[in-house]
Structure 1
Amino acid sequence: MKTCLVVDDSSVVRKIARRILEGMDFSVVEAEDGAKALEVCKRAMPDAVLLDWNMPVMDGFEFLVQLRRMPGGDAPKVVFCTTENGIDHISRALHAGANEYIMKPFDKEIVTAKFQEVGLLALELPSEA
């Protein structure tokens, strides 16, 4: 089973993300800020990270920069999930090593599509009638 680390200071967002991801057969680990998320990654590197930008202690961008410097930190697929929609934020995130970027609010279809794009989920082929 693949693991996904959900990093968001909102317990509501983490709960929604957990429900969506567990429905996609992911094992979910949560962290409420970037510093706690780095501790999780030091113990066991996840397959995926769903990452908020604006958080106390350590924001998502700083977490991403530090994650990518860790041994094995280049492996997780990182999908930013944030209200920051400026092209400067998006380009900074992608340049720092994010694989994809989705806007809040999000739903199962959006998460599924982005996880398929980055190779975390197989593309579902339309069935023939």
Structure 2
Amino acid sequence: MTARRILIIDDEADVREIAKVSLEITRQWEVTTAASGDEGVILASTHHPDAILLDVVMPKTDGLATLIKLSENMDTRHIPVILLTATIRLATQQTFVAAGARAVLVKPFDPGLLGGQIEAVLGWQ
């Protein structure tokens, strides 16, 4: 089986690095990272990841705006997106799911469990 390819879009360098190392070590996945929503949209259309982890709160282009751009792009609309957020409000979660997100994971996440959470959400077991 080929390694899964994951794109992490988060403006916080430490969050990107922790998630990247976690997924590389626990799942041997290939992980690409982007520091902004705009960079993430470009990388998604060129790297064609199997899934995207997307931070909700980012400067300039936030998670919802990025999710909408990804869903409007023919090259990226099929890629499942999982949102990462530190704020939990049911209304917000419903908005994200309506916009096409597969799930919302809470930050801070447990690096040891992150790969399993992604697999469970996407049915990759």
Same fold (TM over 0.5): yes
* Aligned positions, number: 121
- TM-superposed CA distance for 1:48, in Å, is 0.7
Match of residue 112, structure 1, among 90, 112, 116: 116
Aligned to 1:50: 53
User: 1:82-120 CA distances to partner (integer Å, 9 max, x unpaired)?
Assistant: 11211111011100000011100101224412422312x
Distance 2:20 2:102 in 1: 20
User: 1:5-44 CA distances to partner (integer Å, 9 max, x unpaired)?
Assistant: 1011110000110011112121111111100101112212
Aligned to 2:5: 3
Structure label with greater radius of gyration: 1
8 Å contact from structure 1 (residues 100, 114) kept in 2: no
Structure 1 runs of 4+ aligned residues shifted over 3 Å read none
Q: Percent identity?
A: 28
Aligned to 1:31: 34
Aligned partner letter, 2:14: V
8 Å contact from structure 1 (residues 49, 78) kept in 2: yes
Aligned partner letter, 1:116: A
Aligned to 1:13: 15
| TM-score, normalised via structure 1 length | 0.87
Distance 1:33 1:98 in 2: 18
CA RMSD of aligned residues (A): 1.3
Structure ranking higher on relative contact order (CA contacts 8 Å, 6+ apart): 2
Partner-residue secondary structure (3-state), 2:116: helix
Structure 1 or 2: more helix by fraction? 2
Aligned to 1:72: 75
Distance 1:115 1:83 in 2: 21
